[in-house]
Structure 1
Amino acid sequence: MKSIFSRLNIDSYIVLLVTMVVLASLIPPRGSWASIAGFCADAGIVILFFMHGARLSRQAVIDGARHWRLHLTVAVVTFVVFPLLGLVIRGLPLVDPALATGMLFLTLLPSTVQSSIAFTAMARGNVAAAVCSASFSNLAGIFVTPILCALLITGKHGGFSSDAVVTIAVQLLLPFMAGHMLRPWIGDWIVRQKKMLTLVDRGSILLVVYTAFGAAVVEGLWSKVSFRELAMIAALSAVLLAVVLALTQALGRWFGFNREDRIVLQFCGSKKSLASGVPMAGVLFSASQVGAIILPLMFFHQIQLMLCAVLARRYGALPEQPDKVAPAVTMSRAGTSN
């Protein structure tokens, strides 16, 4: 089954996420089970950010500062260009306000870590810079994403309140800082426990997805979202990703980055983190809103994996040209591969 998903460029984890959505749609948590599931989801978020803090190397922060032009460009694309595009999407007619807010929310999120680094390595880019850029993006996202949500979403759709500041500090920031402070004692052990970390990391997100969609289903999510709106989310996600991929490629050439750094800019600058987005949505929005909020993120996440896998393979197959601009890979060609 895994080989089939691999050939189709479908992440098996996405299949598990869809399974959670189906399960939540058929058997949503109610009553005392909803309280228990919600408590477990909150605990999972705390553990998740604690581990993120323990895994972040201080040396990565120091090394990353030396390549500030590249990291600053990635940050601007992630936290300025993407949100501007999100505002444009939210202003489009015929888009349900809750789903439009979900599209805007995904543009406010930090970049991924694992897939950004993996695609950069596959494309023969600057892996060390990718590690730093992706790590900085996730670290900054803990502070920047809630602030952007407060500025761009609060008051219009009722998704963010002042109470969320305390919740963010307790569930996200404090666990992250605690993990990072304890890194000298537990960091090496956590890095060695890859299977356990993967189970906790992915399991906590699956639980949040189940509780979030379950609460949304109880509130009538699927009676409010039509097939046309789902198709629109998929189309908007694909267009959004295509625009950012083209823009990051152009910026890399404009700023004179070498081939390896242009690859970092393209893959780190175009990603949005499902691992960070789902827990943050659970903290920032009410239970009845979270299902619709993270639905666009799930579509975008799978599309970015599929399209960037195609681009990374094409870049990796190009001959080494360290001092020249690599031939452009057009979106039309990428879209016809596999």
Structure 2
Amino acid sequence: MIARVKNLFDPLVRLLLLAIALASVAPVTGEGRDVARVISDAAIFFLFLLNGLRLPREQVLKGVRNARFLLPLIVWVFGVMGLAGWGLSQIGASVLPPTVALGLLFLGLLPSTVQSATAYCSIAGGNVAASVVAAGVINILGVFVTAPLLSLAAGSDVGIDLDGLQRIGLILLLPFALGQIFQKQAGHFVAENRTLLSWADRSAIAIAVYVAFSAAVEQGLWTLVSLSAWAWLALLIGAFLLLGFAGSWLAGGALALTRGDRIAFLFAGAQKSIALGAPLASVLFPPATAGLVLLPVLAYHLVQMIISAPVAARLSRGSAHP
């Protein structure tokens, strides 16, 4: 119980709740919208630059070679979870606003988290090296595959046009590539300032959420989503969490993975990344739409943080006594 309460006060969770509350009572409007969008884009650019500086190319190459673990995980994250998101979005289409239902599909196609999946894998006694590499590789893939898969699955609801592709290239791919290029020159700065830069990460995500939710609030977010719709959303998110955690654990067992790899598969397979979800939604969708699309992602993220702590604690006892 204490672990669950602590996770409610995780720094990123606090910032996300603050961003949602601030957008609800003081949304950015009028001429400030354009300024806020520029600030949000700049924060996202910086976030992906840091990601490029952090992830050693050697680890990526090493992870790619562990095909027995990585390939099934990629299929699970983008294939199985993506299909589940599509199925839940079809159910949600009759009980939720269309854009919120689309958010369930978007959630299903997002890659894994990096920091929290790795942290919980470590607590549970899993293969941390495999978790770090897998999450990094899957996040790189997510930049390339989430948008096209979303466009393919959603059909006419989402069209990734030339402008959208340019924004993905300029705001997500370019800074990541620059980070990889200048990794040797600037990587030491990232390693020496982890605490400061982790707050920069969280702040960039919170800014993207604030800008997206501001526009959604201005369009009537809290009146568009009724109490019954919130109840349905909670039910659908609960089903998705059950599939994510129970399904990925069972899949790891079916693949006959070692216990350490199975734990890494669980957290990388069950957790979804708000760190990519918020920036990608800001790039792909108009601000008013992005806020509604992010509702399922934010709900899933908050609950996955609460669930992961007791799951990791329980698994750690099993790891200590095989």
TM-score by length of 1: 0.90
> What residue number does 1:288 align with?
288
Whether the 8 Å CA contact 2:121–2:267 is kept in 1: the answer is: yes
1:48-84 alpha-carbon deviations (Å, 9 max, x no partner): 1111011110111122133211111111111100110
91-100 vs 116-125, which moves further: 91-100
Cα offset for 1:159?
5.8
Give SS of 2:7's match.
coil
Provide the rounded CA distance (Å) in 1 between the counterparts of 2:79 and 2:166: 25
- 1:227 shift after superposition: 2.1
Structure 2 spans left out of the alignment, 5+ residues: none
Q: Which residue of 1 aligns with 2:15?
A: 16
Over 3 Å counting, the alpha-carbon distance change for 1:12 and 1:176 in structure 2 is: closer
Contact conserved, 1:208 with 1:279, CA < 8 A, in 2?
yes
For residues 61 and 199 of structure 1, what CA distance do their matches in structure 2 show? 24
Shift of 1:228: 2.0
Contact 1:216 1:287 in 2 (8 A): yes
Tell me which moved more, 39-48 or 200-209. Answer: 200-209
1:289-304 aligned within 5 A: 289-304=289-304
2:268 equivalent to 1:268 = yes
Tell me the residue number matched to 2:49: 50
Q: Deviations over 1:1-60 (max 9, x none)?
A: xx9886453134223212211211111111222221111001001111111011110111
Determine the structure 1 residue equivalent to 2:227.
Answer: 227
Aligned to 2:149: 148
Q: Are the equivalent residues in 2 in contact too, given 1:234–1:300 (CA < 8 A)?
A: no
Mapped contact 1:259–1:321 kept (Cα < 8 A): no
Q: Which residues in structure 2 correspond to 1:70-81 (within 5 Å)?
A: 70-81=69-80
Tell me the TM-score normalized by structure 2.
0.94
Shift of 1:236: 1.3
- 8 Å CA contact 1:153–1:160 kept in 2: the answer is no
Q: CA deviation at 1:162?
A: 3.2
Alpha carbons of structure 1 residues 60 and 253: separation in structure 2 relative to 1, 3 Å: same
1:29 correspondence with 2:28: yes
Q: d(CA) in 2 for partners of 1:150 and 1:85?
A: 16
In 2, the alpha carbon distance for the partners of 1:217 and 1:273 equals: 23
- Which shifted more, 289-298 or 233-242? 233-242
**Map of 1:126 onto structure 2:** 127
Cα distance in structure 2, aligned partners of 1:34 and 1:215: 8
Give yes or no for contact 2:117–2:131 (8 Å, CA) kept in 1. yes
Q: Distance in 1 between matches of 2:16 and 2:291?
A: 12
Pairing of 1:1-338 with structure 2 (within 5 A): 7-10=5-8, 11-92=10-91, 93-155=94-156, 157-158=157-158, 160-318=160-318, 320=320
Output the CA distance in 2 between the equivalents of 1:6 and 1:26.
28
SS at 1:253 equivalent = helix
- C-alpha RMSD of matched pairs (Å): 1.8
Are residues 183 and 318 of structure 1, via their aligned partners in 2, closer, same or farther at CA, if it must alter by over 3 Å? Answer: same
Identity of aligned residues (%): 36
**Gapped regions of structure 1 (runs ≥ 5):** 323-338
Distance, in Å, in 2 between the alignment partners of 1:202 and 1:264 is: 23
CA 126–51 in structure 1, closer or farther in 2 if over 3 Å, else same = same
Contact 1:61 1:136 in 2 (8 A): yes
CA offset at residue 190 of structure 1?
1.4
C-alpha contact (below 8 Å) 1:249/1:262 kept by paired residues: yes
User: Which amino acid is 1:50 matched to?
Assistant: L
Aligned-partner SS, 1:95: coil
Instruction: Describe the superposition over 1:196-253 as per-residue Cα deviations: whole angstroms up to 9, x where unpaired.
Output: 2122211111111111111111112222111222222222112111112222222222
- The AA in structure 2 aligned to 1:75 is I
SS of the aligned residue for 2:31 comes to helix
Q: Name the CA distance, whole Å, in 1 between partners of 2:295 and 2:160.
A: 18
Structure with a larger share of its residues in helix: 2
Paired residues, number: 319
